[in-house]
Chains A and B, each alone.
Chain A
Amino acid sequence: MNLDFSGVIPSIPFILEGIKVTLAIVSMSILLGFVLGSILAVFKISDIKVLTFFASAYTSIFRGTPLILQLMIIYYGLPQTFGIDISEFPAAILALGLNSAAYVSEIIRAGIQAVDKGQSEAAIALGVPKRLMLLDIIFPQAIRNILPALINEFTSLTKESAIVTVIGASDVMRRAYMVGSDTYLYMESLMIAGVFYYVLVSLLSFAGKKLEVKLQG
Chain B
Amino acid sequence: MIQINNLSKSFKNNTVLKDISLKINQGEVVALIGPSGSGKSTLLRHVNGLETPSNGQVQVDGVNIFESDKNLQDIRSSVGMVFQHFNLFPHMNVLQNVSYAPIKVRKLSKELAEKKALELIEKVGLSDHIKKNPAQLSGGQKQRVAIARALAMEPKIMLFDEPTSALDPEMVKEVLDVIKSLAHTGVTMLIVTHEMNFAKEVADRIIFLEEGILLEDSNPVEFFNNPKTDRAKEFLAKIL
A97 smallest CB distance to B (angstroms):
31
Task: Enumerate chain A residues within 8 angstroms of B91, measured Cβ to Cβ.
Answer: 140-141
Task: Enumerate chain A residues within 8 angstroms of B89, measured Cβ to Cβ.
Answer: 119, 122, 137
B81 at the interface (CB under 8 A from A): yes
A160 at the interface (CB under 8 A from B): no
Known A124-B76, A126-B76; judge A132-B104 contact (CB<8 A). Answer: yes
Known A122-B89, A140-B91, A141-B90; judge A128-B101 contact (CB<8 A). Answer: yes
A182 at the interface (CB under 8 A from B): no
B80 near A128 with CB under 8 A, answer no
A121 smallest CB distance to B (angstroms):
6
Task: Enumerate chain B residues within 8 angstroms of A83, measured Cβ to Cβ.
Answer: none
A125 near B90 with CB under 8 A, answer no
B117 at the interface (CB under 8 A from A): no
**Closest chain A residue to B78 by CB distance?**
A127
Interface centre among A116, A122, A125, A132 (most CB of B within 10 A): A125
In the assembled complex, the Cα of A136 lies from the Cα of B96 at a distance in Å of 11
Task: Enumerate chain A residues within 8 angstroms of B90, measured Cβ to Cβ.
Answer: 141
A122 near B83 with CB under 8 A, answer yes
Known A121-B50, A136-B100; judge A128-B87 contact (CB<8 A). Answer: no
B87 near A126 with CB under 8 A, answer no
B46 smallest CB distance to A (angstroms):
13
- Tell me if A's interface is mostly helix, strand, loop or mixed: helix
B104 near A136 with CB under 8 A, answer yes
A10 at the interface (CB under 8 A from B): no
- A127 in complex: contacting residue of B77, B86, B146, B149, CB < 8 Å: B77
Other 18 A-B pairs with CB < 8 A, given A122-B81, A126-B80, A136-B100 = A118-B85, A121-B83, A122-B83, A122-B89, A124-B50, A125-B48, A125-B79, A125-B81, A125-B150, A126-B77, A126-B101, A126-B105, A127-B74, A127-B101, A127-B153, A129-B73, A137-B89, A140-B91
Q: List 30 A-B contacts (CB under 8 A).
A: A118-B85, A118-B87, A119-B87, A121-B50, A121-B83, A122-B81, A122-B87, A122-B89, A122-B146, A124-B76, A125-B50, A125-B81, A125-B150, A126-B76, A126-B77, A126-B101, A126-B105, A126-B153, A127-B73, A127-B76, A127-B77, A127-B101, A127-B105, A127-B153, A128-B101, A128-B104, A128-B105, A136-B100, A137-B89, A141-B91
List chain B positions with a Cβ less than 8 A from chain A.
Answer: 48-50, 73-74, 76-77, 79-81, 83, 85-91, 100-101, 104-105, 146, 149-150, 153
